[in-house]
Chains A and B, each alone.
Chain A
Amino acid sequence: MLFNSLAFLVFVLVILVLLSFWQRLKLSPIPLLLIASYVFYGWWNAWYLFLIVGSTLLDYTISILISRIQSKNSRRLLCFFSIATNLSLLIFFKYSVWLTEFISRDLNSWLVEHIILPVGISFYTFQTMSYTIDVYRKEIEPERNILKFALYVTYFPQLIAGPIERAINFLPQVSTVSKIHLRQSSYWLILTGYFRKIVLADNLAIYVDESWAYDSLNIFSTLLGILAFSFQIYFDFSGYSRIARGISGLFGIDLSLNFNYPYSARSFRDFWARWHITLSTWFRDYIYIPLGGSRSGNTKRNILLVFIISGIWHGANVTFVLWGLLHGLMLLLERRIKINYFTFLIILFLSWVPFRAPDLSAMSVYLSGLFSFNLDYYSTTISLGPLRVLFTILIIGLSPIYLRIERRENRYLFLILPILIFYFSAINETFIYFQF
């Protein structure tokens, strides 16, 4: 069930009510949250519950074995086995269609027909891999309570699209949580999260989707489409993260910050310290640093490799690799020359074009609109009409102001945002990062 659906809101309400009764009986909330998480995940596709339960049992067992075995080689082997299994699942469900496209058409057709990407697999496999590696490195003790561990893997507020939680942050909180917390800060996160997603992101999506479907863009509509998507993806993903953190806060569990106003960044390095923070720190801690980081003499290789892998993580498409490569190259370039803020922003926004493009051909057609100076009415309004264009410009133009106001809980926004959500929601039934 989607976060922006009535069913989900009812679901959360039911959980809160049940938890409030639960806490009166002085029972641990973990079993209830675990059942709720399985219900949530099973809502997408009940068969994939076997997948996530299997993955949970495997990593639970392996982590306990790792902690008990003294032999370093055996421990390493077990760790690799866990990583290999998780990666195999990820590769099979996410990349096998793409890979077999070049190998066997029959196999490819069969896979296209029968494989459905399990929702959230990119996130929970990374999460469990981080846990196993941390246990192997002896940074944390393995969790002995199977229910707590299972909750760590399947916790529904962050299961589908992160944040990618570290066990060291999550598990201690689960151990101490005992009741619901009706905090204003949680309500603030939920309210602003929904506003970002169903008002800002989904209204921008109307323009973005049409611009990608339209066949005669001009420089104005292309630029507006690029800007609109840059803000759409930010509001969409950060909106989801806020809702996740807000709902989790009601249960007394604080999830990690995933976005820290990334468009306030002044450089690509700064940007990646603010955008999808849990993913970038995952790559840093489990790929970049083990490769030697910036101390091995292979800094350039390591940075490019991390960002190419990051691109591949986002999707089985050359365009994502191109996006990752572009960011990696910009990070390297920044080390050599100073890039001014304006140039940084232009490249940053342009880099979202390959991210959004379904393929390279569509990307080049889209970008060719930048060189069309035919400013007629229809190419400028792309059949959406002038009001939609103005509305899109308004959202983009007011976004920096809104983000500044939103940094602190604001009593006027508690009044205004529900009204705007009610009247200006444009329900788009996907969250962009759900597809990853």
Chain B
Amino acid sequence: MKRSYIFSFSVRSSFVAILVIIATSFIIDKILISKLVTIQKLNRVYSDRYTNIILGSSRAQGGFVLDDECNYSTYNYSLPGTANKLWLGVLPDLLTDSLIQRIIICVDDTDSLILHSKTDGDYSYYWKLDKNSLLYDDLHKTTREKIRRWPFYLFGEGYNIIWKYLRTRLEFSSLNIRGSRIELGELSLLQFESSLHDFDSERIASDLYLDNAAEDRLELIDNLLSNSSDTVVWINLPNFLGKPNLVYERCQDQFSGLCQFYTVENFAGKRELFFDAKHFSFDGAVKLTEEFSWLFCD
């Protein structure tokens, strides 16, 4: 048998495949990844110059119907996932920049205040953030082990990239405007009840445990708030079951006198205002926006 078989076309083809992969990695990075909503919002929250900015998770992302007529100075940077942990990372950065803003934070009730778990969200492309930011530092700690080194960071990511890229461009079941993503669809009764069941069985803690890192973060924000010209507004978004929000209450204790706090009433138990147990329907988003129109209409 010829020894030259190891240089047969199969190995040559596979070598070419490797070159194609490396080349396409560069192209995908430039054309697609940098245009992903997650990356754009995470970067734009630093670079944009909106007067009013909304930070939160998918609940806040789908909770405010912003229009150009009244809300031209407002943008919703909320992202799905445990994004309030992101924003407690970026808040210190925003408080120390030169821009004077009204920062509206809608915190969810989560197990830990800042990014700890490796399963927190999907912020795999965090390395595109400003490396001097606290957000980069937070994400680096949690997602570092999820990130493969170049050129392997796109391994298995083909579907996700296409999905994320297309989602914001071909979304049929939601209204996308000024960073908000308002749910237009409706769940069946069975699906809604299933979401209630899932939400109901989530952790109900009588106390919020904070580790040292979280305590330090709150202390840092406290110090920055004392010297900042920004206005920080904390909103306790309602849920269908009327469950309490321990994170919101903790922030209220910590920052009372330095920030504004608002709890939304008269939403719990009203099916027409909710898409599922936690997220708002279109009608719910309209009603919520009306409640806070004074914040957005300058």
Q: Given the known inter-chain contacts A376-B188, A378-B191, please indicate yes or no for A411 contacting B155, CB distance below 8 A.
A: no
Of chain B, the residue at the smallest CB distance from A215 is B194
B6: CB under 8 A from chain A?
Answer: yes
| Complex contact A184–B10 (CB within 8 A) | yes
CB neighbors of A among B8-33 (8 A): 8-11, 13-14, 16-18, 20-21, 24
Contact between B5 and A411, CB atoms less than 8 A apart: no
Q: A84 within 8 Å of B by Cβ? A: no
B interface SS class: helix
- CB of B8 within 8 A of CB of A184, answer yes
Cβ–Cβ contact A418 & B163, under 8 A: no
**Cross-chain contact A387 with B156 (CB below 8 angstroms):** no
Q: Which residues of A contact B5 (CB under 8 A)?
A: 182-184
Chain A hits for B167, CB < 8 A: 385, 387
Q: Which of B6, B8, B156, B166 contacts A424 (CB 8 A)?
A: B156
- Minimal Cβ-Cβ distance residue in B for A379: B188
Tell me the chain B residues, 257-295 only, with Cβ under 8 Å from chain A.
Answer: none
Contact of A411 among B10, B156, B159, B185 (CB under 8 A): B10
Asked whether A423 is an interface residue with its Cβ less than 8 Å from the other chain, the reply is yes
Contact between B173 and A423 (Cβ–Cβ < 8 Å)? no
Q: B154: CB under 8 A from chain A?
A: yes
Kindly report which residue of chain B lies nearest to residue A391, judged by CB atoms: B159
**Most chain-A CB neighbours within 10 Å: which of B10, B13, B20, B188?**
B10
- B17, A418: Cβ atoms closer than 8 Å: yes
Q: Is there contact, CB below 8 Å, between A377 and B158?
A: no
**Bound form: Cα–Cα A419–B10 in Å:** 14
Q: Does B157 contact A (CB under 8 A)?
A: yes
Of chain B, the residue at the smallest CB distance from A216 is B190
A153 to B239, alpha carbons, bound, how many Å? 59
A188 within 8 A of B: yes
In the bound assembly, the distance between CA atoms of A233 and B187 in angstroms comes to 32
Q: Which of B156, B162, B163 contacts A426 (CB 8 A)?
A: B156
Whether the pair A388, B163 counts as a contact (CB closer than 8 A) is yes
Whether a CB of chain B sits under 8 angstroms from the CB of A374 is yes
Chain B residue at minimum C-beta to C-beta distance from A387: B163
Is the CB of A112 closer than 8 A to any CB of chain B?
A: no
The CA-CA distance from A182 to B20 in the complex, in Å, is 24
Cross-chain contact B155 with A422 (CB below 8 angstroms): yes
A171–B251 Cα distance when bound, in Å, is: 71
Question: A170 near B: Cβ within 8 Å?
Answer: no
| Total residues of chain B contacting the partner, CB 8 A | 31
Q: Closest CB-CB distance, A96 to chain B, in whole Å?
A: 33
Residues of B within 8 A of A216 (CB): 188, 190-191, 194
Asked if A418 and B18 sit within 8 Å, CB to CB, the answer is yes
Say yes or no for A429: interface residue by CB 8 A criterion: no
Please tell me if A270 contacts chain B, counting CB pairs below 8 Å: no
Chain A 304-336, CB within 8 Å of chain B: the 1/0 string?
000000000000000000000000000000000
| Known contacts A425-B156, A426-B156, A378 near B13 by CB under 8 Å | no
Interface of chain A residues 353 through 410 with chain B (CB within 8 A)? 374, 376-379, 385, 387-388, 391, 409
CA A187 to CA B14, docked complex, whole Å: 10
Residues of chain A within 8 A (CB-CB) of B20 are 415, 419
- A130 sits at the interface (CB 8 A): no
User: Contacts A376-B188, A378-B188, A379-B188 known; A414 to B159 CB distance under 8 Å?
Assistant: no
User: Could you say which of A387, A414, A424, A427 contacts B13, with CB atoms under 8 Å apart?
Assistant: A414
A203 to B158 alpha-carbon distance, docked (Å): 12
Pairwise interchain contact A425-B187, C-beta atoms closer than 8 A: no
Given contacts A183-B5, A423-B158, A424-B159, contact A188 B10 (CB under 8 A): yes
Q: A376-B188, A378-B187, A379-B188 are in contact. Are A187 and B156 (CB under 8 A)?
A: no
Query: Which residues of B lie under 8 Å from residue A377 when comparing CB positions?
Result: 173, 185
Q: Which residues of B contact A379 (CB under 8 A)?
A: 188, 191
Beyond A378-B185, A415-B16, A423-B158, 16 additional contacts (C-beta under 8 Å) are: A183-B5, A184-B8, A188-B10, A191-B14, A216-B191, A216-B194, A377-B185, A378-B188, A391-B159, A411-B9, A412-B13, A415-B14, A418-B14, A422-B154, A424-B158, A425-B155
| A and B contact pairs by CB, cutoff 8 A, 21 listed | A182-B5, A182-B6, A184-B10, A216-B191, A216-B194, A377-B173, A377-B185, A378-B188, A387-B167, A391-B159, A412-B13, A415-B17, A418-B18, A418-B21, A419-B17, A422-B155, A423-B154, A424-B156, A424-B159, A426-B156, A427-B156
Closest 10 CB pairs of A and B: A423-B158, A414-B13, A418-B17, A425-B156, A415-B13, A414-B10, A424-B158, A184-B10, A387-B163, A216-B190
